[in-house]
Amino acid sequence: MGFLQDLFGKKKDSEPAAATAKTQKKQESFFSKSFRLHIAPLGCFSDEEMDTIVATVEKHGAANENAWKSVIYDEFFKPREWHAAEFEKCNASDASDAIAGDKEALRKRTYDNLMQHVQLYAKNLESVLSAKNSRCQYDIVYDTENEQRAKEALAKDPEAIPPFFPGDRTMIKVKIPGFE
């Protein structure tokens, strides 16, 4: 062992892993809140099924959507009727000619957009609460395509957390004093 290692001790491998696991668990609880808020109104899943879906996501990590997104769709969304009217309307206007007539492709796209909305809301919820808990300020970074509509939504409800509507990519950016 070198002098500095003797003085400060060997770096423990478990410390970064523990910090990462704690951060991941925190992010997953925000995902759970966002998922339940946005999926419960669909009215097609029981509380037990939502618990199973959230547990599957948490098992893989919310950010690791390649590990869970298709599995959740195939097992829970694909085999049943469900409608997310706002997302379907958004998809119909954005659909390319190639998928416009393909009902399954439109359902999958609606699901993808819904999950993207759930994840973005969870991230923004975490940012807002983190800023409030640490007495920091935050900025709203608007999606340039939808800035006017997002500002109108925020004017109606100043406490709302983005995204404000399907397809909105408005983000929360925490401002740390001295690092602006």
CA atoms of 62 and 15, how far apart (whole Å): 22
Residue 87 has what pLDDT? 84
CB 124 within 8 A of CB 163: yes
Residue 22 has what pLDDT? 58
Contacts of 126-133 with CB under 8 Å at 24 or more apart are 126/26, 126/27, 126/30, 127/171, 127/172, 127/173, 127/174, 128/161, 128/172, 130/174, 131/172, 131/174, 131/175
What residues are paired with 174 via a beta bridge? 138
CB 83 within 8 A of CB 129: no
CB 107 within 8 A of CB 42: no
Residue 2 has what pLDDT? 43
pTM: 0.79
Residue 8 has what pLDDT? 35
Handedness of CA 55, 59, 61, 64 (dihedral sign): negative
Residue 9 has what pLDDT? 43
| pLDDT tens digits, 64-77 | 999 999 999 999 99
What residues are paired with 141 via a beta bridge? 171
- Name the token pair of 68: 């869970």
Low-confidence residues in the chain, pLDDT < 50 = 1-15
Residue 104 has what pLDDT? 87
Residue 124 has what pLDDT? 95
| pLDDT tens digits, 124-134 | 999 999 888 88
Residue 86 has what pLDDT? 86
CB 108 within 8 A of CB 72: no
Residue 113 has what pLDDT? 92
Residue 88 has what pLDDT? 81
CB 140 within 8 A of CB 154: yes
